[in-house]
């Protein structure tokens, strides 16, 4: 099957904490001022991406996977995950602080929810002055101390705050308590999972005047209580080459800053390739066609491609494979 580079219609999500940067900065077609997420590439049931370009326009991602699994995903990816697309790609705009949360690991998520866990990474695209993330604890915390802080409403005193700027990148492994702070626009790459344990929500109420559900008891056995310094990703920003950012069992992410065209031989890459454009624009070609992506757009290259050519005089891209 000759599969050209695939762009997808964004799946836009209203969120209590959302804003307008997805429209104002990334050009998404949002129609309100509380849009918090643009799901760029998803096979989550009920939110399956649909092709927006070329001969396959109107075809769902899941239909393509079902009909051409090895050609699209790669043989090794298909053998590992079957017909389930293994990652979820998003842009997130936090006008307000997100809830403080964490995600269970694969073992716990499988046992409790028959789901994958949720390992994720964030690339900061835009941040208001002084904007912060919460990532982990500021000291080692016991389970009892954590539980008491939830009861006493003092959790915020135990958390680690990171001031962020464009280009900062964070790897959030399962169990790590975290939250995106107000004023942050970021690209998120994660395992395909929507299992989140919300532990504190600043006592906010939704549009109906209700407090959102917390998952206090579920979280107790899922939290990593140890203070760690393993979340800030250090990576090279050498131009016109592939710079490794994150390599983990669930996805691999590289950073590319282009000032000229770049052609990659991927004949031995047994995986699909995703490009998220986080700055500028580029035309992405494979054996079977091309697609242009601007800042805030995403493209999927099938695994049966032999090469990828990136045509650009100024683009910043995140490259994602399995």
The catalytic residues are 198
Q: What is the DSSP letter of 76?
A: H
178 in a labelled binding site: yes
Q: What is the DSSP letter of 1?
A: -
Please choose, from the candidates 270, 192, 174, the residue with its C-alpha nearest in 3D space to the C-alpha of residue 231. Answer: 174
90 vs 180: CA distance, rounded Å = 14
Count Cβ atoms below 10 Å from residue 293 Cβ, excluding itself.
Answer: 22
310 vs 200: CA distance, rounded Å = 43
162 in a labelled binding site: no
Element (H, E) at 149: helix 143-152
113 in a labelled binding site: no
Dihedral of CA atoms 197, 203, 206, 212 in degrees, nearest 10, equals 30
92 vs 114: CA distance, rounded Å = 26
Question: Distances from the Cα of 305 to the Cαs of 61, 70, 88, 290, in angstroms?
Answer: 17, 12, 21, 12
Residue 150 near residue 225 (C-beta atoms within 8 A): no
Residue 195 near residue 111 (C-beta atoms within 8 A): no
Residue 113 near residue 171 (C-beta atoms within 8 A): no
- Facing residues of 258 across strands? 315
Binding site residues, as ranges?
A: 103, 120, 178
Binding site residues for Zn(2+), as ranges?
A: 103, 120, 178
């Amino acid at each position: 099957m000759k599969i050209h580079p695939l762009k997808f219609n964004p799946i836009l999500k209203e969120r209590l904490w959302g804003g307008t940067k997805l429209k104002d900065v990334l050009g998404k077609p949002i129609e309100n001022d509380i849009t918090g997420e643009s799901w760029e590439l998803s096979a989550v049931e009920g939110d399956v991406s649909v092709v927006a370009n070329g001969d396959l326009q109107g075809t769902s991602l899941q239909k393509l996977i079902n009909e051409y699994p090895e050609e699209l995903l790669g043989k090794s990816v298909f053998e590992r995950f079957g017909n389930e697309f293994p990652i979820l790609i998003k842009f997130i705009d936090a006008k307000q602080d997100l809830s403080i949360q964490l995600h269970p690991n694969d073992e716990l998520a499988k046992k409790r929810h028959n789901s994958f866990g949720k390992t994720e990474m964030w690339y900061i695209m835009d941040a208001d002055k002084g904007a912060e993330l919460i990532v982990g604890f500021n000291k080692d915390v016991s389970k009892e101390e954590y539980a008491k802080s939830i009861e006493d409403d003092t959790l915020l005193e135990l958390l680690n705050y990171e001031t962020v700027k464009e280009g900062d990148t964070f790897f959030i492994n399962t169990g790590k308590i975290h939250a995106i702070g107000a004023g942050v626009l970021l690209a998120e790459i994660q395992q395909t999972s929507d299992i989140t344990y919300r532990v504190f929500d600043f006592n906010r109420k939704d549009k109906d005047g209700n407090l959102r559900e917390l998952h206090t008891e579920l979280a107790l056995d899922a939290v990593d209580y140890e203070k760690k310094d393993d979340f800030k990703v250090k990576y090279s920003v050498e131009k016109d080459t592939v710079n490794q950012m994150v390599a983990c069992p669930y996805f691999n992410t590289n950073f590319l800053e282009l000032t000229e065209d770049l052609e990659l031989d991927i004949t031995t890459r047994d995986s699909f390739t995703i490009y998220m454009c986080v700055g500028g624009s580029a035309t992405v070609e494979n054996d079977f066609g091309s697609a242009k992506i601007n800042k805030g757009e995403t493209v999927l290259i099938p695994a049966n491609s032999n090469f990828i050519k990136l045509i650009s005089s100024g683009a910043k891209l995140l490259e994602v494979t399995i």
